[in-house]
């Protein structure tokens, strides 16, 4: 059985803001409680969808503390601590542990485009500094640098490195690492949830789950029950919403907040440089959500 160190169905949770753009801790607690009640057994905070580039270190810590208070031990909390600076990443990882996180999500350093030797050294330094288990975040489309499979194979030997959020779009490379390590892989691209799970992943870290947590969990539940036909049906049924939220040219943060706002759930504005979705986009997202909910 695949190890699931942080659960199976994780949501890459948005960070709610007030209308004035301040951190909305009450909203975050309400949203987190809803996500857990509707099928998420883990939450990723301060990640890409959580607008980590535009939240302060203090806000990141406050968010972890507030969400832990809201969900207790009913869900694991994985805190995004990645940055382009190794020293800063270590500081964020230590702060996340003190605030109540169960693990840390560490993205490949961005912009500077370090070679693989430096990428490996970065992850090892963070993993050495914190006692929390580490989920590596492989998303070369955003960072400019991927974690090559050979680097992943070496990092798998570190006792604190236990999982990977996979947005590499390299299914062959992912299968290679799955076949030769005990790393728990989590699909970070919603369209890959079932496909990756079928070859041995631990689960998913889903942005679309902000709006439909029960549906994304049901895909995994059906597969675990041996009903692969049902799992396929559920994955394909979600595809239009997945495409609209993740593949239509807008960041998932923007589309998730637009849809949650239409549903009357905590969201608030996005922070610059992101811009909010237009009315037509929000209308389209709501229509797809309602179509999925009615199916």
pLDDT digits (tens, 9 = 90+) for 1-53: 468 999 999 999 999 999 999 999 999 999 999 999 999 999 999 999 999 99
Residue 226 backbone dihedrals phi, psi, to 5 degrees: 85, 5
Length of the chain counted residue by residue? 295
Residue pLDDT, tens place only, 91-107: 999 999 999 999 999 99
Contact 50, 44 (CB under 8 A): yes
Cα four-point dihedral sign 83, 85, 86, 89 = negative
Is the CB of residue 34 less than 8 Å from the CB of residue 71?
no
Q: How far apart are CA 10 and CA 29, in angstroms?
A: 16
Give me the catalytic one of 60, 137, 185, 197.
Answer: 137
Q: Could you tell me if 136 and 123 are in contact, meaning their C-beta atoms sit under 8 angstroms apart?
A: yes
Is residue 249 exposed (0-12), middle (13-18) or buried (19+ Cβ within 10 Å)?
exposed
Closest CA to 266 of 10, 13, 17: 17
Q: For position 1, what pLDDT does the model report? A: 47
pLDDT at 114 over 80: yes
Nearest-angstrom CA–CA distance, 175 and 172: 5
Band (pLDDT 50/70/90 cuts) for residue 59 is very high
Average pLDDT of every residue of the chain? 97
Does residue 286 have a pLDDT over 70? yes
Q: Are strands 161-166 and 184-187 parallel, antiparallel or unpaired?
A: parallel
What are the structural domains of the chain? 9-228 (3.20.20.70)
How many angstroms separate the CA atoms of 188 and 114, rounded? 22
- At 2 the pLDDT is 62
- Does residue 137 carry a catalytic annotation? yes
- pLDDT per residue over 207-253, tens digit each? 999 999 999 999 999 999 999 999 999 999 999 999 999 998 999 99
Q: Which of 98, 110, 111, 165 is catalytic?
A: 165
Catalytic residue at 165? yes
Query: According to DSSP H, which parts of the chain are helical?
Result: 25-37, 57-71, 86-99, 116-129, 140-143, 149-155, 171-180, 193-198, 213-224, 228-246, 252-262, 279-294
Share of the chain above pLDDT 90, in %: 98
Closest CA to 177 of 190, 191, 164, 159: 164
58 is written with which tokens? 């203090």
pLDDT over 90 at 119, yes or no: yes
Three-state DSSP class for residue 204: strand
Percentage of residues in the chain having pLDDT higher than 70:
99
Q: What is the three-class DSSP state of 112?
A: coil
| pLDDT (tens digit per residue) in 139-160 | 999 999 999 999 999 999 999 9
């Amino acid at each position: 059985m695949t190890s699931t160190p942080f659960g199976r169905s994780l949501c890459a949770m948005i960070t709610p803001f007030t209308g004035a753009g301040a951190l909305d801790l009450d909203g975050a607690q309400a949203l987190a409680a809803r996500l857990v009640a509707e099928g998420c057994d883990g939450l990723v905070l301060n990640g890409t969808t959580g607008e980590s580039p535009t939240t302060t270190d203090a806000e990141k810590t406050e968010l972890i503390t507030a969400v832990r208070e809201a969900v207790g031990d009913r869900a694991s909390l994985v805190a995004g601590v990645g940055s382009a600076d190794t020293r800063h990443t270590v500081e964020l990882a230590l702060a996340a542990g003190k605030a109540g996180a169960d693990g840390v999500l560490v993205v490949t350093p961005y912009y500077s485009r370090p070679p693989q030797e430096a990428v490996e050294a970065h992850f090892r330094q963070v993993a050495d500094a914190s006692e929390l288990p580490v989920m590596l975040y492989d998303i070369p489309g955003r960072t400019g640098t991927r974690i090559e499979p050979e680097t992943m194979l070496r990092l798998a030997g570190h006792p604190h490195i236990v999982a990977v959020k996979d947005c590499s779009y390299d299914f062959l490379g992912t299968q290679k690492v799955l076949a030769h390590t005990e790393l728990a892989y989590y699909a970070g691209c919603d369209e890959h949830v079932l496909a990756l799970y079928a070859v041995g992943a631990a689960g998913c870290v889903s942005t679309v789950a902000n709006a439909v947590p029960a549906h994304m969990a049901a895909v995994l539940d059906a597969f675990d029950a041996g009903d692969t036909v049902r799992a396929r049906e559920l994955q394909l049924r979600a595809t239009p919403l997945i495409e609209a939220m993740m593949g239509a040219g807008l960041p998932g943060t923007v589309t998730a907040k637009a849809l949650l706002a239409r549903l009357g759930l905590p969201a608030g504005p996005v922070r610059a440089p992101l811009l909010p979705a237009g009315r037509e986009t929000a209308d389209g997202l709501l229509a797809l959500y309602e179509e999925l909910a009615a199916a």
